[in-house]
Chains A and B, each alone.
Chain A
Amino acid sequence: RKEVEQDPGPFNVPEGATVAFNCTYSNSASQSFFWYRQDCRKEPKLLMSVYSSGNEDGRFTAQLNRASQYISLLIRDSKLSDSATYLCVVNKMDSSYKLIFGSGTRLLVRP
């Protein structure tokens, strides 16, 4: 089983749609959780950290379910510019600095 698993997609949605991604992780001792965004042929960039209580940043909402070991990302009112690959990221048990990246979920927002 992969340490971090994501549905690769692609998710193809119209502008204005709401879309949700889920991610599961295997290490119950993980403490740090993130969503990174990666545009085609670019570097990963932090989208948002994920906190136990859930957090929101504009149109983006992240949730953490420790009991079920999954993380979610909700994007409301999708924009064309949201088209990218979204990487779920979790730290390894033996180091808070060692991050495990999921393979990513690709999102395509169409006009």
Chain B
Amino acid sequence: DAGVIQSPRHEVTEMGQEVTLRCKPISGHDYLFWYRQTMMRGLELLIYFNNNVPIDDSGMPEDRFSAKMPNASFSTLKIQPSEPRDSAVYFCASSRTGLTKNIQYFGAGTRLSVL
């Protein structure tokens, strides 16, 4: 089975531009998570969805960040406008209700650089 698929793998953009990160969870998984990883702050949960509905977005840094999940196989994380401090690796992960210990499986990540 394919794992969690993220695109693009790398994104370089200029400050002020809109950035859209994409994620396809593992088929059959009903939980989807967006994380951000930086050297300073480590791996932080931004938002998570259950059955396409946002459950907790308390980790979203500010209004410039938004996330959607229009269907069970696709989610986006959008940053508008982007700022240099948004530079990080963004991971998407998925899980399934009933999965042993709620294990999460991660995508390869999107490395974002905002110049």
Contacts and interface: CB of A to CB of B under 8 A. Distances in A.
Interface of A: 32, 34, 42-46, 49, 87, 91, 95-104
B91 A99 contact: no
B25 interface: no
Interface of B: 31, 33, 42-43, 45, 48, 50, 55-56, 91, 95, 100-109
A91 B108 contact: no
A77 to B, nearest CB: 26
B91 A98 contact: no
A44 B100 CA distance: 18
By secondary structure, the A interface counts as strand
Contacts of B102: 32, 91, 96-97
B43 A44 contact: yes
Contacts of A101: 42-43
Given A42-B108, A44-B91, A103-B42, A98 B48 contact: yes
B103 A43 contact: no
Contacts of A98: 45, 48, 56
